[in-house]
Amino acid sequence: MKKFNWKVVLHLAASVFLIFLAIHYWPGVSEFIKKIFSAASPLLIGFIMAYPLSILMNFYQRHFFPNSKKKVAEKLRKPVSLIGALITIIGIIALILVLIIPQLANCVKLLAAELPAAIDAVIKKLSSFEFVSDDLIASLASIDWKSRIADIAKTLTSGLGDVMNIAVSAVSSVFSVVSNIVIGIIFAIYLLAEKEKLQEQTKRAARHFIPEKMLKKIHHVLSVANGCFHRFIVGQCTEAVILGTLCTIGMLILRLPYAPMIGALMAFTALIPIVGGLIGAGVGAFLILMESPVKALIFLIFVVVLQQLEGNLIYPRVVGSSIGLPGIWVLAAVTIGGGVLGISGMLIGVPLFATGYKLINEQIDNAETEEEKEEKETQTETEKIKQ
């Protein structure tokens, strides 16, 4: 007869009591959890930043005097790789901002200047339709759209009380976001600088508190997830660079406006699977439409051809085969992830689905293998009995 274990009973009773308290006082518990996540948001941002930075850092470490056995090279390999990864990320962000923001500001100015004339053209077009009443046309034509747009702009820039409140709120929110990002970057640098030490400490703690069998399963799941996320990020970034470069070159050949900006925008939005290219194409077509409707139509035709080339040749080779997820599940991952977490959900949905898809397939393959072994053993025993 087994000895009664009071320790297990006490642990179980404490767990049940804590669950009861959490359910009974759920509003307070949920508010407390929200405060914890809000306070830890800079650390979460840093942890998320550290992952793509670690990919770049590992790349530089593999190419920074990889065969050198000198102590100087071994000591400098890690800090130089970390600095190179940071410079690369900052350079990419700065390049995108330099290419997009100035031309986007010019497009907004052009839109404000051309909008009254466009409205007049729409009113003239409406007057040609018989089902539109003459009173509606007359009322629309009597409005001075240029002055109305100026009044709207004046209203937005006047009213010091409201504007000051909005400005204070905007500045405080921007300061909060910027401070979280800065703290996150610092935390990411610390994580990468002490990566090996933290990994060893985590392994020691896990071996001490988690049973070995469960630890192996957790390690396998994390290994599969790491492989899926790594391949997805590398493949998606490579595909985005290729798409943005081809878009820029094609627009320059066709002499379409805003080629560098729209190319950078297409590369940036292409990081979002499936719908990213459509978003970039829609924004680019709208910007070109302000200058020339014919050029906007040419751009749309060009993007359709480019999307077919990208979807049939580039994406399957660069991304599709690397993550091993069928197209229907990629669409499901983007849809569900976008519905739950927006754009960030679209980005992480695909590698998460790929991880689950691979783990489920492994379980099915293992089960089928075991069934096949059992069938073979049964057949062997049957043959021995017959003999």
Looking at residues 72-80, what average pLDDT do you find?
A: 82
Helix residue spans in 194-211 (DSSP H): 195-209
Looking at residues 363-372, what average pLDDT do you find?
A: 76
Looking at residues 96-122, what average pLDDT do you find?
A: 68
Using one digit for the tens of pLDDT, what is the confidence trace for 271-286?
A: 777 677 788 888 888 8
Q: What pLDDT shows up at residue 268? A: 83
Q: What pLDDT shows up at residue 160? A: 42
Q: What pLDDT shows up at residue 252? A: 92
The confidence band for 253, taking pLDDT boundaries of 50, 70 and 90, is: very high
Q: What pLDDT shows up at residue 164? A: 43
Nearest to 192 by CA among 297, 301, 86: 86
Phi/psi-derived region of residue 65, left when phi > 0, alpha when psi is between -120 and 50, beta in every other case: left
- CA 234 to CA 248: how far, in whole Å? 21
Domain assignment present for residue 274? The answer is yes
Using one digit for the tens of pLDDT, what is the confidence trace for 137-187?
A: 666 666 665 566 555 555 544 544 444 454 445 445 556 677 777 888 888
Nearest to 79 by CA among 180, 181, 183, 195: 195
- CA 380 to CA 387: how far, in whole Å? 11
Q: What pLDDT shows up at residue 161? A: 45
Cβ contact 213:288 at 8 Å: no
Higher-scoring residue by pLDDT: 180, 49: 49
- CA 275 to CA 45: how far, in whole Å? 25
Domain assignment present for residue 293? The answer is yes
Q: Report which residue type is found at 205.
A: A
Cβ contact 56:89 at 8 Å: yes
Count Cβ atoms below 10 Å from residue 172 Cβ, excluding itself.
10
Distances (CA, A) of 144 to 101, 137, 239: 31, 13, 48
Of 14-18, 48-52, 136-140, the least confident: 136-140
Domain assignment present for residue 227? The answer is yes
Number of structural domains the chain divides into: 1
Domain assignment present for residue 151? The answer is no
Of 100-114, 249-263, 270-284, the least confident: 100-114
Calculate the CA 224 to chain-centre distance. Answer: 19
Domain assignment present for residue 13? The answer is no
The pTM for the full model equals 0.68
Domain assignment present for residue 107? The answer is no
Average pLDDT for the chain: 76
Q: Which domain holds residue 314?
A: 211-364
Q: What pLDDT shows up at residue 302? A: 92
Place of tokens 């878009």: 247
Higher-scoring residue by pLDDT: 275, 36: 36
What share of residues in the chain are helix, strand, coil (percent, to 5)? 90, 0, 10
Cβ contact 322:355 at 8 Å: no
C-alpha dihedral, 194 to 48 to 97 to 170, nearest 10°:
-110
- CA 130 to CA 137: how far, in whole Å? 11
Angle, helix 276-289 to helix 259-269, in steps of 10 degrees: 160
Q: Is residue 199 predicted with pLDDT exceeding 60?
A: yes
Domain assignment present for residue 270? The answer is yes
Using one digit for the tens of pLDDT, what is the confidence trace for 325-355?
A: 776 777 788 788 877 777 777 778 888 888 8
| Greatest C-alpha distance within the chain | 104
* φ, ψ dihedrals at 89, nearest 5°: -65, -45
Using one digit for the tens of pLDDT, what is the confidence trace for 260-273?
A: 888 888 888 887 77
> What's the angle, vertex CA 345, arms to CA 341 and CA 347, rounded to 5?
155
Looking at residues 5-25, what average pLDDT do you find?
A: 74
Domain assignment present for residue 147? The answer is no
Q: What pLDDT shows up at residue 249? A: 92
Q: What pLDDT shows up at residue 168? A: 46
Of 55-59, 231-235, 330-334, the least confident: 330-334
Cβ contact 298:283 at 8 Å: no
